[in-house]
């Protein structure tokens, strides 16, 4: 099978199971984000794929070959770390050409490749500059160019954008995704930022305590979270109790017994005048952020957050009613709660 296949990969550090019997297939040319809270094993997983850490058990295959024991320099990977690890005493060009130089590529070929890579990352003509003369975003691009210099078959990045400010980070997310699409290179990025993962990934792998919670395209993860942990981790949600087959007193269509918990996204809660919709509620707090209005409601003692379009006018203390489409409710099976 082509692409990257991890089979029952585990990594123990003493008493800690950093990654536990994890299976994952990454299609060739796809962009995958490993997403999860601090300590869930994302970096450990990436380091095993890179060959920097050896799995305690399990196998890693790439394009059909078992690479579990293959040393890092023979894996044909390009890597970018959060720290970037650029050499401050070398010029931009020499940084980018470094992996080529240690592979014995001659000076002229190196210079040509450096120009090609600088064009690719939209930094033409800066080969002679010192690293210290570049901004954070420009250094990021140099680190990416260096990682791609040897035309890797697999591109691995660990929190590559987390040192950048919010605006620049968002711009770089789009750039990185477009670059990956132009090159068609299989790419795996570690992040703890769900928006970043949603922007870039073909598929998101949500991890917790060394295990995969869900692996799916971003919209599916958002619309159909596998459990309460995923629902809560990806975007904002209301985790609401299901009693019998009712949610806040509203009957849900059910073929059999329902689990005890459901997720409803704030944008799926619509606010109507009192008495018009099945759920009665009182406005407890209003946060108007201009582009939308977030409304916190008290529905018979249960807190519900709704997101209304810009211009919605509601007053704290006002009684309203709430409508939730049954199709927007994700009920978790017994045992799938966080």
Residue ranges binding ligand ATP (CB under 6 A): 13, 16, 18, 36, 38-44, 192
3-state class percentages of the chain: helix first, strand second, coil last, to nearest 5: 30, 35, 35
Q: Which is nearer to ligand ATP, 40 or 206 (CB)?
A: 40
Q: How far is the CB of 214 from ligand ATP (least distance, A)?
A: 16
Nearer to ligand ATP, 163 or 250 (CB): 163
- If the CB atoms of residues 38 and 132 are measured against ligand ATP, the closer one turns out to be 38
Q: Smallest distance from the beta carbon of 33 to ligand ATP, in angstroms?
A: 12
Min dist CB 323 to ligand ATP, Å, is 39
- 189, 216 in Cβ contact below 8 A? no
Contact 49, 188 (CB under 8 A): yes
Q: How far is the CB of 78 from ligand ATP (least distance, A)?
A: 19
Measured at the CA of 330, the angle between CA 324 and CA 331, to 5 degrees, comes to 110
Q: How far apart are CA 316 and CA 77, in angstroms?
A: 56
- Give Cβ neighbours of residue 290 (< 8 Å, ≥ 6 apart): 310
Buried-state track 182-193, b at ≥16 Cβ within 10 A, e below 16: eeebbbbbbbbe
**Residue 14 CB, nearest distance to ligand ATP (Å)?**
6
Between 36 and 160, name the residue whose CB sits nearer to ligand ATP: 36
Identity of the residue, 208 or 265, whose beta carbon is nearer to ligand ATP in the bound complex: 208
Rg (CA), the chain: 24
Between CA 137 and CA 77 the distance in angstroms is: 22
In this structure, what token pair is assigned to residue 268? 């799926």
Looking at the Cβ atoms of 41 and 93, the one nearer to ligand ATP is: 41
Question: From the CB of 2, what's the least distance to ligand ATP, in Å?
Answer: 27
Q: Print the SS3 string covering 8-56.
A: EEEEEECCEEEEEEEEEEECCCCEEEEECCCCCCHHHHHHHHHCCCCCC
Q: With 0-12 CB in 10 A as exposed, 13-18 as middle and 19+ as buried, what is 3?
A: middle
CA distance 27 to 48: 18
Handedness of CA 32, 35, 41, 42 (dihedral sign): positive
Comparing C-alpha atoms, which of 201, 192, 190, 195 is closest to residue 49?
190
* Least distance (Å) between residue 173 CB and ligand ATP: 18
Q: Which residue's CB is nearer to ligand ATP, number 56 or number 91?
A: 56
CB of 195 to ligand ATP, least distance (A): 16
Select 40 or 221, whichever has its Cβ closest to ligand ATP: 40
Distance of closest approach, residue 49 Cβ to ligand ATP, in angstroms: 12
The enclosing H or E element of 169 equals: helix 166-183
């Amino acid at each position: 099978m082509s692409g990257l296949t991890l089979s029952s990969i585990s990594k123990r550090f003493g008493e800690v199971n950093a990654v536990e019997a994890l299976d994952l297939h990454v299609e060739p040319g796809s962009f995958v984000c490993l997403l999860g809270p601090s300590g869930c094993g994302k970096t450990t997983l990436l380091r095993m794929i890179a060959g920097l850490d050896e799995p305690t058990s399990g196998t890693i295959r790439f394009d059909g070959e078992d690479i579990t024991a293959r040393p890092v320099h023979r894996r044909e990977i390009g890597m970018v770390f959060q720290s970037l690890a650029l050499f401050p005493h070398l010029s931009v060009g020499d940084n980018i050409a470094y992996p080529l130089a240690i592979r014995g590529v001659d000076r002229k070929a190196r210079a040509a490749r450096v120009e090609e890579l600088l064009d690719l990352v939209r930094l033409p003509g800066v080969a002679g500059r010192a690293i210290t003369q570049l901004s954070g975003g420009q250094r990021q691009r140099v680190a990416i160019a260096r990682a791609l210099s040897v035309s890797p078959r697999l591109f691995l990045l660990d929190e590559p954008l987390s040192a950048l400010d919010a605006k620049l980070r968002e711009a770089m997310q789009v750039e990185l995704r477009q670059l990956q699409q132009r090159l068609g290179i299989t790419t795996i990025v570690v992040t703890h930022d769900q928006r970043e993962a949603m922007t870039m990934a073909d598929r998101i792998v949500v991890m917790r305590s060394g295990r995969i919670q869900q692996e799916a395209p971003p919209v599916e993860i958002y619309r159909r979270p596998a459990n309460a942990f995923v629902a809560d981790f990806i975007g904002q949600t209301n985790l609401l109790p299901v009693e019998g087959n009712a949610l806040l007193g509203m009957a849900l269509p059910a073929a059999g017994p329902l689990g005890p918990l459901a997720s409803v996204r704030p944008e799926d809660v619509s606010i109507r005048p009192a008495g018009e919709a099945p759920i009665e509620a009182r406005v407890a707090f209003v946060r108007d952020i201009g582009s939308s209005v977030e409304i916190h409601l008290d529905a018979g003692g249960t807190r519900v957050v709704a997101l209304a379009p810009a211009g919605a006018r509601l007053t704290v203390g006002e009684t309203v009613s709430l409508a939730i489409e049954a199709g927007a409710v994700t009920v978790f099976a017994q045992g799938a709660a966080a």
